[in-house]
Each structure stands twice: as C-alpha cells, then as structure tokens.
Amino acid sequence: MTCYLLLVPLAVLVSPPLSGFIGCGYATLGPVAGGCPTAIELTPGLVAYWRLGEPSTTPVPSSGGAAVDQKAGSNGDYRVLPPAAADTQRHSPGTAGTIFLGITPGLLSQLSEAPCIQVDEGYVQIPANDALNPPAFTFECWIDLTGFDQEPEGNYYCLVESTGRAGPRSTGFGRYLGPLDPTAPAGPYFWQVWMGDGTQFSQVAVGTQPVDASQSRLTYLALTFLGNNESVNDGQGHDLNYNLALYLYRPDTQQDLAVAGLQALTGTVNNFTPNTVANGGGGDFFIGTGTDLFPVAPSFVGVAAENSLDHTAQASGTSATSACGPVTTTSANELILAANTTSTASGSVAAAGSGYTVRVVTPDENIAEDQLVSVIGSFNAAAPLTASGDWVMQMATFRTGASQRLYTFKGKIQEVALYDADLSVDSSNALNIQLWLAAHEVSGGDL
C-alpha cells in the first residue's frame, strides 16, 4: 500500500461546481514511507488521531481510554447504546447496540497490522476538550457503509459530532448521512454538514449526489472548514465565497489518485461557533453517534428565527380540567406552549397535561407547560385541577426550525484524524492548496 500527500491547485478543488477540472493538473509529493499512519502523523496541525485498531479482546464498554489517541492523549472509550423500549425521542435500539473491534482485514487491507472497528449502534466517546474544537479544522477518516442498505430512508445517521452539552444543540459541528430537506425528511441519503452558530444547530451544506448505500465501498472523507467569513483565492484573481467543503474519494472507481475521482460539496458558513466551554459548549466528541441520542434534562427550546408562530387556541370553562384545542401543526418539529389561569377560590393545578412538562406554577396555582412534537398532527393542551373551578386555557405552537431525527452510524471506521486548520489551503490563504488525501493504490482483490 502506498500513501500520498497531494499538492493540488485551488482551481482543481473548486472546479466541480465551476469548470469540470478543465486545464488543471496536480503533482504528488511522492509516497510516504510507513503508509497512511506515518503520513497522518507528519501532517502539520494534527490535533488528534484515533486509529481504532484496538484488538477484539478490548472490553466494551471500555475504561481508561481504550480508543487511543496517537497524538495528544485525547483517548476515547468504546461504548454501545443501551436498549430502551418505545424510545421515540432518543431513538435507542430495541436491543443493545453492538461494536466489533479488531476487524481484519481492516479497511486499508494491505496494512495487516491495522484492524478496524465495525459499529451498529456502537460508538466512540472522547471526553470534552477545547483542543478538539478549533475554529478552523479538517476532519478525515476511512469508512465502509456495510449494513446501510438495510436502513430506512428518512432518518439521519451520525458519523461524527461535537455539539455541546445537554439540551438543544447550538455549537460545534456534525457530519451526517440523511435526506436533503430536514423539514420534510424523506428520500435517499446525502452526505451533509450541520453547524451551530451559538443559537441554533442547522444544516449548512449538503451533497449534490445521493449515496448508493447498497454498494459497500471503501470511502475516504475529508471535511475541511477554513473559518468564519473567509474566502479563498483561486489563483486567477477570483475570491471564491466558499469556506467549507466535504471531499469523498473511492479508490475502487478505477480513478485511483485522479482528481476527477473526488466528489465535493461546498458551502459558506459565516457564524460557526466551536464547541468550547467559552462558547457555552464543552460537550464530548463522538464518533459513530450524536449527542441527542442520550437522555437530557428538560429545557426550554429556542424556536425558528422567522415565522415561528404556527397556531393558537384558547378556551374557558368551569370543570376539573382546563383545556383548549385542538390545533393541527404544519411542520414536523414544533414546540407547543400552554398556560392557564384558574380561580383561586376553587380548583388549583394538580399537574401538567399528558405529554407536557411543567415550566412554571405560580403562587395562584396557574401553570405554564410545554412539549416538543416531531410529527405533523392534531394537538390539545390540558391541565387537570384538584377540584372543579373556573379557568381560562391558552396554547400556541411554534416551528422550531431545521432539526434532524438522529441515529447511529452503521459500518466500518478507521484512521480518524482531526487537524486545527483547513488543510485545503495554505497558511497564506492564497495560490496553492494542500489537500491531504490518504489515498492508496489497490486492486480489485484488495477491497
């Protein structure tokens, strides 16, 4: 196996949406002795490097940092999701998840000493560390989508995520396979990137071609982010309004080491907020799963920045239950907020209505409650009283903006590396681009 660093002119990397690689070339820096691991360790800006090559005898769940960081000690642990019946919010499996270590041959099969992991609701969890959340970064890995062709369409599957602590996500980034449109999740998978701007977490870039999950093929992915409000010069006097890109490379497409074999998606991100303690984040770094698959404490939700109000309803009466509605929501993800006023001379609030969480109970026994819903439907608001009395009940539904129904990644993962710079550009942010590709030459029998 041979690994390369490629020195690629900027126009080559951005040409898929521009000019189809017309008139561009590239020069290899030559093979790197020691293969991909050595090439990764020699790349400037390396922050962390998880080979995920631990033997099958490694315990799961592990302790003491079994997923070893070869660079700086940001070791992780191997874990699996526990089963949870009827867990519609956290999407836990009906049976315990699985993770297999020491899979041989590994993804880079000619490295017999380098097995990989295979996950099915298993994952790697690295403790929170601000160093793992730089403002400009490159994240790369090798994967094989074995098992994805059995997954239903319409869901989002997480390959990597670093998005903050418990509660609504608003910082960091995630890379997913999922539908094109988060507001109408259906259809085939597309590679995409989500980022937080400090107030919300939303889709910022999505691929132009669907992923054929029925063909389990070795794939190299590199997500590069230049930083906020940056542009790149193409070497021809043009500043390109682009600062995020996801590159995919498949060595079994008969285009090994050919720039035309790269597929790219690009996007512009102006308000990325890294998942650091100072930014209100500080959550763990995950490979193979995301933060909203874990139980979190109830919290208020921020809603869509524009046109957030969907429907309202109100009612009054004299009975042992205050209630109003129904209203029919128009989007899949909405926040329903309800509140009542009761006669203090008669009934007082006993509890929140079914499906609701209590937010406030006033000294006069009035209640404010809310719930999140993830499907379009008809909804009521109610709150039982301790005795029959006079009441007024009001409710409003709010669109919560883009969100994703997140599931764990399924397949094989190996050679995961994180850098504290966008390696698709040089330090002067000018003519030449150094896109680091762990490309290797294989024949049909190597995969």
- For 4-32, the pLDDT digits (tens) are 433 333 223 332 222 222 112 223 334 45
Cα–Cα separations (whole angstroms), residue 262 to 4, 237, 245, 248, 249: 15, 24, 12, 6, 5
pLDDT at 221: 86
pLDDT score for 431: 27
Amino acid at 8: V
Find out whether 399 and 308 touch, Cβ atoms under 8 Å. yes
Q: pLDDT at position 444, please?
A: 31
The Cα 108–Cα 35 span in angstroms is 10
- Residue of 380, 372, 399 lying closest to 327 (CA atoms): 380
The per-residue pLDDT for 28 is 37
| Cα gap 447→445, rounded to integer Å | 6
Q: What is the pLDDT of residues 94-120, one digit of tens each?
A: 788 899 999 988 887 655 568 999 999
pTM score of the predicted model? 0.73
d(CA 10, CA 257): 17
| Contact between 397 and 311 (Cβ < 8 Å) | yes
Closest by CA to 139, choosing from 251, 219, 282, 246, is 246
- Given a cut of 50, the residues of the chain with pLDDT beneath it are 1-31, 254-261, 298, 426-447
